[in-house]
Amino acid sequence: MNSDRMCGVLLPVSSLPSEYGIGCFSGSAYKFIDCLYEAGQRIWQILPLGPTGYGDSPYQSFSTFAGNPYFISLKELIREGVLTEEECREADFGSDPGAVDYAKLYANRYPLLRKAYERSRIAENPDFIRFMDREGYWLKDYALFMAVKGRFGNAPWSEWAEDIRLRWQNALDYYRRELYFDIEFQEYMQFKFYEQWNRLKEYANQKGILIVGDIPIYVAMDSADAWASPWLFRLDENNEPIQVAGCPPDGFSATGQLWGNPLYNWDVHRRSGYEWWIRRMEHCFAMYDIVRIDHFRGFDEFYAIPYGDDTAENGWWEKGPGMELFQAIAGRLGPKAIIAEDLGFITDSVRQLVRDSGYPNMKVIQFAFDVRDTGDPGDYLPHNYDRNCAAYTGTHDNETLYGWFLALPEEAKAEVRAYIGRPEADAHAVCETLIRLVMGSVAKLCVIPMQDYLGLDNSARMNKPSTLGNNWKWRMKTLPGGELLAAMRELAAVYGRADRRKS
């Protein structure tokens, strides 16, 4: 990672303004990059870009390699002549410009994309043929997986007919013939996703903006990865999980967190030289400039929960691959810019793994005043940061900074005001000062969620862990204006983080 001090903004692609129900790779994405450039920022951090399943979480994707078709710009398809403005205008994507309506997106976005595919004559496109040659190692399985999923009413693959669930050759051949056009439709959507994403990333890089991508440590059970390569995971002879992932009981949850992802069969990965992981990371670095790995502590030790349990209370810790995995990745790909997400209760062995890797870890100032048992709160106070870290006011899993401060007990609010030296400051002034403290720290990277720069309350929160139904929905109604961008640029310049072309 560049040794210069840098700063940037955390904003999911889905949260960009858009007239078609969800932020995407449309003109507003390019304009947001212009905003970052104007504000002297060097970083745009996003959430995972994979296709989302149950619960709409980007951390539970149908594929670790595929992209989310919702992010394909309909405007671009109109320009290509495969959709009309009237068709897109008549589709119902929801009436609230400040929230994503995933049910309406699912019902109405895919029919439009199918029309675009059917009018595209994609099989004759030489760029598509080259894309298939290059990405076929994952795309052929993914496209088949999604087409078969549609044939079985979108049921999880664990509920499919036995022959295709267990990938018997005669069943694979049958469905490839039977679902030829459904498969090609999936391939078309991936082609358009990557065509548009690569163009957007190139624009960002030309403006001096680096993209920080985010990858979950685990894949979803209902994913092409688990279906196509079951031997990589702790599955039995019927491809049912033996144990699944989660976190033990802690201050956040009395029964722990039951994520349900299949655990890796690390012995198999080790014997292959970590080939699957190397390909995964190679793919990530083709998409992003810097990669944040979620739940980094799982590489040191991971929590195993018996499959079928209703809570995480009966799990246990096991050793992960440790530095061996990252040495294998570096041996093939060379040094890469990675951020280790090591939040929560961290052991000495996790700290050692982070040090051994050399990756910057994360510091979230909210945790410095957290009354729950999440480790040493002092680790998250800016005066204790070391240079090799990435500092945040909050992440996608936190309350907004303003909402967090409002919800603090009075005693904790007094602690915050004492720390910033402003005993009479109102909530907005406190939050502005906390942003300054994080920006002024020695951390070489500082990332502020867009909601915190906007001073928004918890109605703009992105995710509340261990809940379903109201997450991943928040959207900006308009892009940040000139006054805010000027203030961001000044802040970046004062603390030596500004893009020098704009300082």
Environment class of residue 224 by beta-carbon count within 10 Å: exposed (0-12), middle (13-18) or buried (19+)?
buried
49 near 197, Cβ under 8 Å? yes
**Is residue 240 annotated as a catalytic residue, yes or no?**
no
Pairing of strands 389-392, 257-262: unpaired
357 near 326, Cβ under 8 Å? yes
- CA pair distance 84, 87, nearest whole angstrom: 5
Strand order, beta sheet including 301-306:
257-262, 243-247, 301-306, 316-319
Please tell me which residue in 341, 342, 379, 499 is annotated as part of the active site.
341
- CA pair distance 134, 283, nearest whole angstrom: 11
Please tell me which residue in 309, 370, 397, 415 is annotated as part of the active site.
397
223 near 175, Cβ under 8 Å? no
Q: What angle do CA 305, 310, 314 make, to 5 degrees?
A: 40
> Residue 322 is encoded by which pair of tokens?
């440790």
- CA pair distance 364, 382, nearest whole angstrom: 9
Q: CB neighbours of 126 closer than 8 A, spacing ≥ 6?
A: none
- CA pair distance 268, 104, nearest whole angstrom: 41
**Is residue 370 annotated as a catalytic residue, yes or no?**
no
**Is residue 397 annotated as a catalytic residue, yes or no?**
yes
Query: Residue 268: enclosing H or E segment and its boundaries?
Result: helix 266-271
- CA pair distance 486, 453, nearest whole angstrom: 12
Q: CB neighbours of 77 closer than 8 A, spacing ≥ 6?
A: 83, 112, 113, 116, 192
Q: Could you count the other beta carbons within 10 Å of the beta carbon of residue 231?
A: 10
Q: What does each C-alpha distance from 175 to 47, 150, 178 come to in angstroms?
A: 33, 12, 5
- CA pair distance 216, 35, nearest whole angstrom: 28
Question: Which candidate, 210, 65, 227, places its Cα nearest to that of 131?
Answer: 65
- Sign (positive or negative) of CA dihedral 132, 134, 137, 139: negative
Please tell me which residue in 289, 294, 379, 399 is annotated as part of the active site.
294
Residues identified as active-site: 294, 341, 397
